[in-house]
């Protein structure tokens, strides 16, 4: 198992790379004008215009009176990509169920190219939203989902991830050295769940458990919420049992679908 991140020695089509940089500006900024894209990427206005018009012509960018924005064709493509993950179809209803029963935010996450990706999210009646969007890529070591998955991956693969992305800190509680991370992952494996304690966002705690099929990890499911609602007693007596029930059903359904 190796981290599939292209190096600088691979062949590139610069126009394609630039087009995705333009898409990135629209993703971060919403509706923008040509001059804003040009300024953000430090490129001529004419170049930004050509890229935007090309993306508009194939339907991935839409123009209105306020400027250019991303089109919904990305939603179609994202749905196709997500449906290709077998864990999504089997876990969706179970994630809804654990969100409903606990009242908190439930997430289904997977690993792709060494990062944690949220592929589905469900909000319970008491959910406190922590700005983690469906489709979000982020560092594995910041989150309970990520740590739950890392704990079940081969150590050499985890080492590759750490070497490539580093261990940047999101808060003062984030694990930012490899020795501490590997010790934490050992604890996660031994107790069967990962805990995120204000390691990505202040005031937010999360608990996650891995989904294992055929001896390998295919994702993880988590619950997140305000720290005061995620005390040790509630984790042990309510949240962890709910997650285990969810995980058990997903594993069986995924293995025999």
Q: What is the pTM of this model?
A: 0.89
Q: What is the spatial order of strands in the sheet that 105-112 belongs to? A: 137-139, 115-123, 105-112, 216-226, 204-213, 194-197
Residue tagged 């010790």 (tokens): 183
pLDDT digits (tens, 9 = 90+) for 132-176: 788 899 999 999 999 999 999 999 999 999 999 999 999 999 999
pLDDT recorded at residue 166 = 96
Spell out where the chain has E strands: 61-64, 67-70, 105-112, 115-123, 137-139, 194-197, 204-213, 216-226
Question: Which contacts qualify for 248-255: CB closer than 8 Å, 24 or more apart?
Answer: 249/94, 250/87, 250/90, 250/91, 250/94, 250/211, 250/221, 251/211, 251/212, 251/213, 253/90, 253/94, 254/86, 254/87, 254/90, 254/91, 254/211, 254/213, 254/218, 255/213, 255/214
Token pair in block for residue 196: 């995120």
CATH code of domain 14-71: 1.10.10.10
Q: Which helix (H) or strand (E) holds 83?
A: helix 73-83
Fold match, 14-71 / 78-256: no
Please say whether the beta carbons of 25 and 36 come within 8 A. yes
The CATH architecture that domain 78-256 belongs to is: 2-Layer Sandwich (3.30)
Q: Where along the chain do its domains lie? A: 14-71, 78-256
pLDDT digits (tens, 9 = 90+) for 206-253: 999 999 999 899 999 999 999 999 999 999 999 999 999 999 999 999
**How big is the CA angle at 207 (ends 175 and 214), to the nearest 5 degrees?**
100
- pLDDT band at 126, cuts 50/70/90? confident
pLDDT recorded at residue 176 = 95
Strand partners for 62: 69
Asked if the model's pLDDT at residue 7 lies above 60, the reply is no
């Amino acid at each position: 198992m190796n981290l599939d991140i292209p190096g600088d020695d691979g062949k590139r089509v610069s126009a394609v790379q630039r087009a995705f940089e333009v898409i990135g500006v629209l993703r971060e900024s919403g509706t923008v004008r040509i001059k804003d894209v040009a300024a953000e990427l430090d490129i001529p206005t004419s170049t930004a215009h050509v890229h935007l018009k090309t993306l508009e012509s194939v339907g991935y960018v839409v123009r209105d009176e306020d400027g250019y924005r991303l089109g919904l064709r990305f939603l179609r493509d994202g749905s196709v990509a997500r449906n290709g993950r077998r864990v999504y179809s089997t876990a969706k209803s179970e994630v809804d169920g654990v969100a409903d029963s606990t009242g908190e935010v439930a997430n289904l996450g997977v690993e792709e190219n060494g990062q944690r990706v949220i592929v589905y999210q469900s909000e319970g009646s008491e959910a406190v939203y922590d700005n983690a969007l469906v489709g979000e890529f982020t560092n594995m070591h910041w989150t309970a989902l990520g740590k739950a998955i890392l704990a079940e991956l081969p150590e050499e693969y985890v080492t590759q991830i750490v070497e490539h992305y580093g261990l940047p800190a999101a808060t003062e509680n984030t694990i930012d050295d490899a020795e501490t991370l590997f010790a934490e992952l050992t604890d996660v494996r031994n107790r069967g769940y990962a805990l995120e304690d204000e390691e990505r966002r202040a005031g937010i705690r999360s608990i996650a458990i891995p989904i294992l099929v055929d001896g390998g990890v295919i994702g993880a499911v988590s619950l997140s919420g305000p720290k005061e609602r995620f005390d040790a007693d509630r984790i042990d007596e309510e949240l962890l049992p709910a997650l285990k029930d969810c995980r058990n059903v997903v594993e069986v359904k995924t293995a025999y679908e």
